[in-house]
Chains A and B, each alone.
Chain A
């Protein structure tokens, strides 16, 4: 079977000493920031990306991906032990996980969370290996018309399905697209929105925006509304789950993986939605739903599998279509471009080492995370005692050096400081920054595809409706807009977020 040949090839790439090392560093850092509340995977990926520019593209992607999925693992540790979501996606795990910890069953909860995540990671590695090539083959037939419609669909989906207000999210997409226009127009050489500032003629660097809006503004928000960190660490005595625990968890893990994989490929739906739906499903299916909220292991197993499946399957649209489904994926896409690799279906054929190596490394990384998380849990917990006031100067140092190293000039730092303030204002206005970064990364590609599509159709804009695949994307876009705006669902959606 071809898929096994491909996977074996992938492992031959992932298992070289160099790539193993970077996979380990990525997973290690991911766990670290996953455990620590107050710094998310997006900010970390942005902050450390300049360091990876000296690596080979494969090693860079392996390490950055490790940070991303490692954070999901680490987040659950904090959720279970201190009832504080280390990452947003672990909010659901807090509910039953922390109750288990209070009953002295922190060990089994951690173990099931890790095993569930590992199972989901393994299945999703196979899903990517299986479906990735199929999707890429299909995408090879796309012309710029289809790409434009696809990107529009991705952006509208992201705005519609992401948490927060739909109209403001759509406005943020447009703002991102507009910010992507800054700099020299590729086609005409015309300088747009550069206001005679020579540094702006190359456009705004996406790391400047990412670090400004995700890292800086998060720090400002934290300093404005400090959370009281009362750490009540529970003892982790017995790690191994009982036979009953395992028996109860098998179903939720499998269902959670399925749900997570489904939500994973949809743009905009974060791991929180995947975890939440899994929790709801398990509660509905349970013989005795009243156990939920009081330390039901199903409420840990399902959501943990779901959020890990979600974060892994987010790679499918990114690697095969060049379509980022989350803010971190937008950053990874940007990293690919900086390494001179054009994103899209050709990645698989032109850089099979990157594609298959990355996929294989995810499985290796999941295995490493299992080992990193379970026996070393005590070390991670002790990290929680580090107060935020010692943490954020460290974030500042890494971010500033990274930004400065982009061009060896202070201009990018001024710009980042500016976007930090903007990002803080956006947080206060409750405008989600995720659609903005997606729009920003896709903006120039969208314009280019629009230009080519219109050129091909001799200026006739109906081309987007007359080509069947493109029409399909547009119909799907309109359907989602209608469904999300239905009053009934709107209320439900609100309650999901409040919950």
Chain B
């Protein structure tokens, strides 16, 4: 029987749980464990990590037996561009102000989809920009400069 690891849903799900559990247990190894009477900061996380590893092992072994495939597609573009648009928004809010950050967010996040129509995105940006400036900056009074002066 040939096993295809790269798309085995439960194998990887289990592996993920084990990895997180093991990582958590490793990080928590020096936290004071305490006693049952007076549990320390390490008590609860270490027990939880142990349980998580156990569940992970079960899911992983079951995955090897059943070998069910991961469904659907992975849009690598969305996976990279969408988080990047958020990071960019965060950086620009600090450096350049509300409006530049918003424009970057709209354009970059729109670019993570398959269709990108420049005029449409531009109009959307203007609409969302006007709405959020009115609502957040003027309405709720969030203290963000619209454009930061250098």
CB within 8 Å of B: which residues of A? 51, 54, 167-168, 170-171, 174-175, 177-178, 181, 185, 187-188, 190, 192-193, 195, 216, 219-221, 223-226, 388-390, 392-394, 396-398, 400-401, 403-405, 408, 410-411, 413-414, 416-418, 420-421, 424-425, 428-431, 447, 450-451, 454-455, 458-461
Q: Measured between C-beta atoms, what is the minimum distance from B27 to chain A in Å?
A: 6
Interface string of B102-122 (1 = CB under 8 A from A): 100110011011111000110
Chain A residues, CB < 8 A from B75: 220, 223-224
Q: Are A216 and B13 in contact (CB under 8 A)?
A: no
> For chain B residues 51-86, which have a beta carbon within 8 Å of chain A?
51-52, 55-56, 58-59, 62, 70-75, 77-79, 82-86
Q: Is the CB of B13 within 8 A of A450?
A: no
Instruction: Please determine whether B105 and A397 come into contact, CB atoms closer than 8 angstroms.
Output: yes
Given the contacts A185-B41, A192-B28, A174 and B48 also touching, CB distance less than 8 Å: yes
Q: How many A-B residue pairs have CB under 8 A?
A: 186
> Given A185-B41, A224-B74, A389-B115: A54 and B20 within 8 A (CB)?
no
Among B37, B51, B52, B112, contact of A455 (Cβ-Cβ < 8 Å): B37
User: In terms of DSSP, what is the predominant structure of the interface of chain B?
Assistant: helix
**B125 cross-chain contacts in A, Cβ below 8 A:** 393
Q: Are the C-beta atoms of A192 and B78 separated by less than 8 Å?
A: no
A417 to B84, CA, bound (A): 8
Q: Is the CB of B78 within 8 A of A396?
A: no
B48 lies within 8 A of A401 (CB): no
Query: Closest approach, in angstroms, between the C-beta of B12 and any C-beta of chain A?
Result: 6
CB <8 Å contact, B37 and A454: yes
**B residues bordering A, Cβ < 8 Å?**
9-10, 12-13, 16-17, 20-21, 24, 27-28, 31-32, 35-41, 44-45, 48-49, 51-52, 55-56, 58-59, 62, 70-75, 77-79, 82-87, 89-91, 93-94, 102, 105-106, 109-110, 112-116, 120-121, 124-125, 128, 132, 135-136, 140, 142-143
Specify the main secondary structure of chain A where it touches its partner.
Answer: helix
Q: B35 contacts which chain A residues (CB < 8 A)?
A: 459
Is A400 a contact of B105 with CB atoms below 8 Å? yes
Q: A223-B112, A389-B113, A459-B35 are in contact. List 11 more A-B contacts (CB 8 A).
A: A171-B52, A175-B20, A181-B44, A188-B32, A220-B79, A223-B114, A390-B124, A414-B86, A414-B90, A430-B71, A451-B39
Specify the chain A residue showing the minimal Cβ separation from B17: A171
Whether B87 pairs with A413 at a CB distance below 8 angstroms is: yes
Please give, as numbers and ranges, the residues of chain A lying within 8 Å of B128 by CB-CB distance: 393-394, 397
